[in-house]
A and B are shown apart, each in its own frame.
Chain A
Amino acid sequence: MATLRSIQKRRVDELFAEDIPEDEVIVMNTGRYSCKVCHHRPVFDTVNVLALHRSSKKHLQNLEQKKAEDTDLFNMVAKRKHEQFMKDGTVDIQIAPEVKQRVDNIAGHVNNTVQVQAYDPRVKKPKVNRHQRRPKISVESAYTSNQDSLSTDVPSTEHSKPSLLGMKLALNIGKHTDPIEVNPYIRKQSKIQPQSNPRKSKSFTDEKPCLLHKLESLKSKAVSANVTDSESSTSKRLKKEPTMADPPMIVHNPETQRKAEHYLKLRESGWMKDKSGNWIKDENVEFDSDEEEPPATP
């Protein structure tokens, strides 16, 4: 009885999702939907609510605005193409991918509707372990544009739009083919064994720092390397969801690991980097009287 109802519900959801253009919606990796049309990017839990929002006055106004913008863009592209044609007879111009997408939309060359994959029990969802359930992103994709990740992961032609759920699945699959993951919290996963030397139960704290050190190193390295993502910086405040806050996966490059470790070591010894990237001493930290330069990179 319950399965019947769930199948029904799913079918209704599919119907709702059928005519939602995919480029107007962002599917977040928590499974929620955000309306790309509205500039304040409202977030909704289900497709139904999203659909409700799309019939609201505000959204329709924003849609109008967007259409107007798109039309402007289209005109601009056409003008540019014409100029190029005037120059050398070709219409090859460099168009930014976002612009391309929007222009294509207007041009109507695309099958615009979102396709929700029908439920097929033969399609087995990849099994996720409990400690891996939190969706994680890879280093490169986190700091490159979203569009790229979408387009690189899924094999699709330039003009076809992958379905909403298809994207989700792709993201999942993508995660599992990536190299070693590291859990941010090293929980003691095995049962407590009765020990002959009970005092030694403290010894495992010594193991933890190494792994966590690696974690820190990579996170900091990634942070220092490419902090262009404005989104992530604002979300650095009290991170309730460990999703975006998780340090990115370990890169299996010992060189970068060493560098990261060295950076952290200097940092915790009291050396700071000033604006020009030189190492200077933190005033609040004490140093040995003969310590003038930070120790060199190994």
Chain B
Amino acid sequence: MFLYNLTLQRATGVTHAIHGNFSGTKQQEIVVSRGKILELIRPDPNTGKVYTLLTTEVFGVIRSLMPFRLTGGSKDYIVVGSDSGRIVILEYVPSKNIFDKAHQETFGKSGCRRIVPGQYLAVDPKGRAVMVASVEKQKLVYILNRDAQARLTISSPLEAHKSNTLVYHTVGVDVGFENPTFACLEIDYEESDMDPTGEAAQKTQQMLTYYELDLGLNHVVRKYSEQLEEHANFLISVPGGSEGPSGVLICSENYITYKNFGDQPDIRCPIPRRRNDLDDPERGMIFVCAATHKTKSMFFFLAQTEQGDLFKITLEQDEDMVTEIRLKYFDTAPTASAMCVLKTGFLFVASEFGNHNLYQIAHLGDDDEEPEFSSAMPLEEGDTFFFAPRPLKNLVVVDELDSLSPIMNCQIADLANEDTPQMYTICGRGPRSTLRVLRHGLEVSEMAVSELPGNPNAVWTVKKNVDDEFDAYIIVSFVNATLVLSIGETVEEVTDSGFLGTTPTLSCSQLGDDALVQIYPEGIRHIRSDKRVNEWKTPGKKAIVKCAVNSRQVVIALTGGELVYFEMDPAGQLNEYTERKEMSAEVICMGLGRVPQSEQRSRFLAVGLGDNTVRIISLDPSDCLSPLSMQALPALPESLSIVEMGGVEASEDTVASKAGIFLNIGLQNGVLLRTGLDSVTGDLSDTRTRYLGSRPVKLFTINMQGNEAVLAMSSRSWLSYTYQNRFHLTPLSYETLEYASGFASEQCPEGIVAISTNTLRILALEKLGAVFNQVSTPLQYTPRKFVIHPETNNLIMIETDHNAYTEETKQERKQHMAEEMVEAAGEEEQELAAEMAAAFLNENLPENVFGAPKAGPGMWASLIRIINPINGTTLDQVELEQDEAAHSIALVKFAGRPDDTFVIIGVVKELVLNPRSTSGGSLYTYQLKEEGTKLELQHKTLVDELPAALASFQGRLLVGVGKYLRIYDLGKKKLLRKCENKHLPNFIVNIHTMGNRIVVSDIQESFHFLRYKRQENQLVTFADDTHPRWITCATMLDYDTMAGADKFGNIFVVRLPPDTSDDVDEDPTGNKALWDRGMLNGASQKADTVNSFHISEVVTSLQKATLIPGGSESLVYTTLSGGIGMLVPFTSHEDHDFFQHVEMHMRSEHSPLCGRDHLSYRSYFFPIKNVIDGDLCEMFNSLEPSKQKVVSDELDRTPSEVSKKLEDIRTRYAF
């Protein structure tokens, strides 16, 4: 079986974020790493929205990311430390919109290793050197310079190795123009290793070490090292030279310290804590990330604690010495993995889990009443400052980037009874968790809906003047009248526009510079800016049936198939062309492209005729109305549209690249054809087909993100547009529309006005390029698993959080603390204390912003929730006791009571995670009552370990309790154990059943195939696997085949050989064991690996599903980083052969960006087997045309054929 890996949505969780001027312009951009993806994001300073400019897969693991700017340079380079054993310096080329590899230096073996550098990167702030360090021992420094042609040069590496040393963090110290210095947090474990008692390990202290690169002598020395008192987690470099005092800020547990060379004494300040925090007061507080903002006159740091509180840190200086550190509470944001402060005043916060935010720094927090804490304030040792968190004051949320990370589980089903299935994903961590329903399609925001008198059949928008930014009129045509609405503050009807209101309109447009034209069945009306009207009437009894208009040309078709052509002359007069063209068949539709910039006319007219053809007719003055080419169609055409797509417009730093002209043909059978139109000869070539819906397809040209796009309307509306050099044809998540036109107004610069039955709707499309649109419902704790109740389509899910309090416990603690407050207050302050206590009890900080209090290890909070996924309402909620954690859930119909549905929850008490120990597990049996909306507890059954896997099996329940597999039946007072298998090796994670066959996934030892023998009441293992696999999720593909994923990011398919017999006996005497032990795990039959592939993200759910109606099934997976992908089977050997060759050529022509070898990357843990990497194949479209030609020649095809094949395999299974 050969599979093809496709990515539907890339990972959304961010691991690193850096900012800089990567395009070389004044505008700052952000480069973000999402594990194996590098993305360039630009926030638009006017709108505040964030646009993704470029997304590339690097086919490697990005371990560190830093921006680098040469001295006196204006452009930032990107230095990437990855798992390839190479340091790579990338340059963003805006004209081609790619990352160009400026340098690649190899220094070690590939793979994430302890001693091979790549984990830490430090950059000299003045742009002279870069240090790349490993976790242990090795540090290399590269000197970067520029040569005569102003290109970046890199030197040979200079070593700064120190054995027996572990590194926590490295940073480049700003020493002005002295020798570049790097500061590292290190720990020397040599003594601890030698000491068998373990005392030395307890006493070893961290060190702050300075490494100096001597530019003159060209080597690196370990300049200075001092021991630190508290354990530090990271360093912040303080601006130096002429802009600041230099030195480093050391963030450690509960303290932040400033250190510098020379006479500078250490300045130490405790980290402020929240007043009245429910957290354990013994728990230390650390800073998790920081961002620096530097201007010519001042600088400050924004540091975030693990609870999400942002502090503004400033240093007070006295001459050259720093005298105090000042901290002020700034705001609270979700805990971030990286933060960037941009010069334009934006703060980009890349959250650890959940949506990322872009804030505008509205105030710097200088002159408000917030208390400022200083290191100079006297405090006792061990004491700290307190502050009260409050809602956002200094920051304003400007944009939110959706992120699904982490996806805990996903199921694909059509619960909303739409034709396409939806994806129900439970994502997030803690109080920021959500249930998100993903649907394929663009998100449409409805700006306005208004009712119209009667049912209109068409709508257009016109500008009064060609230079106007916004549209002036909306013209709505009815069966026997035309309504003209003006767009301004309000939308109201006007009668003096010049348009004829008593007749239906066929089309209208803006003509020339400032004139309008209206075409109706009896003639053409040319309305000039001074309200003069020129009319052209149809001859005799003929009427105009169809027309095509653009800003300079008008073509009409009269009854009888006669075409009349009008062109506007420079004077603004509409002149009829002398000849008229007779068409051989009835004219059904016509299409004219827009007049290109600085040209007089559009050259091509497309005419769709009743003989199932489309003809291209030239409108060139030399051969006007002469046919150029023709294309036969499989059905009658319904509408035509000529657009120019795929080009990049010229701007200050890019070169305009030639766009392609495409003719879009909408057929009456619901199919859209897109054909390339040669701009010189008018030839039609390279047709792509897509089925859109059941109704005839109508096409409308609109503007999207500055480029032309086509709106195709059938039973579902679709938008065809270019985004990031790729064509997209995405459906709109909206109801059926009938007619549309582009719309531009102040509130809505790139909108759509459309009609649907008797309503006029104004819509805007915002998130272009997103494959799925999300509807999210917030949840309380981290959701783990859910089941779908088939009769009511409700979801029953379990939410469990470690290190958390239940609501009840929280209230108790609050009560407790309030009482303590009152007690602690003296006699006089009793009233005040009581007031404060009351206020404290009443205040409720929303947890999704301020985080939930951390309880301690072994403390769990859990609940069971029944939720309606469509409208997001919680129907029932059962909260479990403190320290009870629900880990598994199953929906069972027992054989003894076939009419009742039971929900079984596997619960464990006081679970300590590593090493795993519990104080007991149990199975809670609930009955689903009141039509699946209420849970009623029946009984609790005690088991000895954690029941992590549950499955319904032949009218009874299969439970995996630790490493025992048991069958339980429903009893009156508890569940009764009927059968047990004790021979599974470690811990049961998943159970799948089919017939009498049970497939159990072990936590470490891959799949075990068992069979239940009824006549002996035994569970017997008859087959297992030969490789150790740490399984996270699995699914049964068929009776003999299992697909699974492991925690190292691999996906594999395992199959039993055809001659496997599951009729095996358990051997009670043990004699068989002596001579037929078989290999490894003991079952005598082994499964084979059919496919194996490395995804590099932990896969959390696998499912066999059909994503498009009428498509075939594929294997869909979701990952912990928020990525969604699918594995698609090849149906023919030719296809597989073709793609294998494409992949082979792509491996050699387009080597991965960070220097990793593609084949060894995909074979990270197990050799890649029978899977072709679609992500690499699809990079064919972004190759240079010359390279594309080379590759396609090798395959005996043209580049467009190869692109078409790549697109086909994607649209056959997905979108």
Using a CB–CB cutoff of 8 Å, the interface residues on chain A facing chain B are 185-188, 192, 194-201, 205, 208-209, 212-213, 216, 219-220, 223, 236-240, 242, 245, 263-264, 267-270, 282, 284-290
Contact = CB atoms under 8 A, between A and B. Distances in A.
Residue of B954, B1017, B1038, B1039 with most chain A CB atoms under a 10 A cut-off: B1017
Interface stretch (B371-379, B1061-1069, B1150-1158): B1061-1069
B1017 A282 contact: yes
Nearest first, the 9 A-B pairs at minimum CB distance are A208-B995, A220-B1015, A286-B976, A286-B977, A288-B971, A199-B413, A216-B1014, A264-B1014, A198-B1105
B413 A197 contact: yes
A287 B980 CA distance: 14
Contacts of A187: 1039
Interface in B987-1044: 993-996, 1014-1017, 1038-1039
A120 to B, nearest CB: 35
A282 B1016 CA distance: 11
B575 interface: no
Nearest to A287: B976
B869 to A, nearest CB: 13
Given A188-B1038, A288-B972, A198 B1014 contact: no
B1106 A267 contact: no
B411 to A, nearest CB: 7
Nearest to B941: A286
A216 B788 contact: no
A223 B1038 CA distance: 31
A288 B414 CA distance: 41
A238 B976 contact: no
B1109 interface: yes
B1104 interface: yes
Contacts of B1106: 194-195, 198
A239 B1022 CA distance: 12
A196 B415 CA distance: 11
Interface in B1067-1101: 1072, 1076, 1084
Nearest to A223: B1015
Interface stretch (B340-348, B533-541, B723-731, B1110-1118): B1110-1118
Contacts of A205: 993-995
A286 B972 contact: no
Contacts, number: 106
B1015 A264 contact: yes
Contacts of B419: 196
Contacts of B979: 268, 270, 285
Contact of B1104 (A201, A237, A288): A201
A290 B1065 contact: no
A238 B1113 contact: no
A197 B1084 CA distance: 38
A219 B996 CA distance: 15
B1113 A242 contact: no
Contacts of B1104: 198, 201
Given A219-B1015, A290-B972, 14 more contacts: A196-B1109, A216-B1015, A220-B1014, A220-B1015, A237-B1065, A238-B1065, A239-B1063, A245-B1061, A245-B1063, A268-B979, A284-B980, A285-B976, A286-B977, A287-B971
Contact of A268 (B1014, B1059, B1109): B1014
Contacts of B971: 286-288
Contacts of B969: 269
Given A209-B996, A237-B1065, A199 B1017 contact: no
A289 B1038 contact: no
Contact of A288 (B413, B955, B973, B1061): B973
B420 to A, nearest CB: 10
B1061 A213 contact: no
A212 B413 contact: no
Contacts of B976: 270, 285-288
A223 B1109 CA distance: 49
Given A216-B1015, A267-B1017, A194 B977 contact: no
Given A220-B1015, A267-B1015, A285-B978, A212 B1063 contact: no
A290 B1015 CA distance: 24
B421 interface: yes
Contacts of B1112: 192, 194
Nearest to B1085: A238
Contacts of B635: none
A289 B976 CA distance: 10
B98 interface: no
A238 B1064 contact: yes
A239 B1085 CA distance: 12
Nearest to A200: B790
B176 to A, nearest CB: 64
A197 B420 CA distance: 9
A268 B1064 contact: no
B928 interface: no
A186 B995 contact: yes
B1023 to A, nearest CB: 12
Residue of A199, A205, A216, A268 with most chain B CB atoms under a 10 A cut-off: A268
B361 interface: no
A270 B993 contact: no
A71 to B, nearest CB: 42
A49 B122 CA distance: 80
Interface string B935-957: 00000000000000000001100
A195 B1106 CA distance: 7
B417 to A, nearest CB: 9
Given A198-B1113, A199-B788, A287-B976, A209 B414 contact: no
Interface string B626-662: 0000000000000000000000000000000000000
B421 to A, nearest CB: 6
B412 interface: yes
Contacts of A186: 995
Contacts of A263: 1015
B788 A192 contact: no
Nearest to B1015: A220
A198 B1061 contact: no
Contacts of A216: 1014-1015
Contacts of B1065: 236-238
Contacts of B993: 205
9 contacts: A192-B1112, A199-B412, A201-B1104, A208-B995, A209-B996, A220-B1015, A238-B1064, A268-B1014, A288-B973
A197 to B, nearest CB: 6
Nearest to A203: B790
Contacts of A198: 412-414, 421, 1104-1106, 1113
A192 B1113 contact: yes
Contacts of B972: 288-290
B1033 to A, nearest CB: 16
Nearest to A266: B1017
Residue of A237, A238, A263, A269 with most chain B CB atoms under a 10 A cut-off: A238
Residue of A192, A205, A208 with most chain B CB atoms under a 10 A cut-off: A205
A245 B1065 CA distance: 12
A208 B1015 contact: no
B1064 A199 contact: no
B1059 A240 contact: yes
A268 B956 CA distance: 10
A183 to B, nearest CB: 12
Contact of B1061 (A188, A199, A223, A239): A239
B983 to A, nearest CB: 14
A289 B973 contact: yes
A24 B1113 CA distance: 57
Contacts of B995: 186, 205, 208-209, 212
B92 to A, nearest CB: 42
A109 to B, nearest CB: 45
B1098 to A, nearest CB: 24
Nearest to A270: B978
Nearest to B967: A268
B414 A196 contact: yes
Contacts of A223: 1015
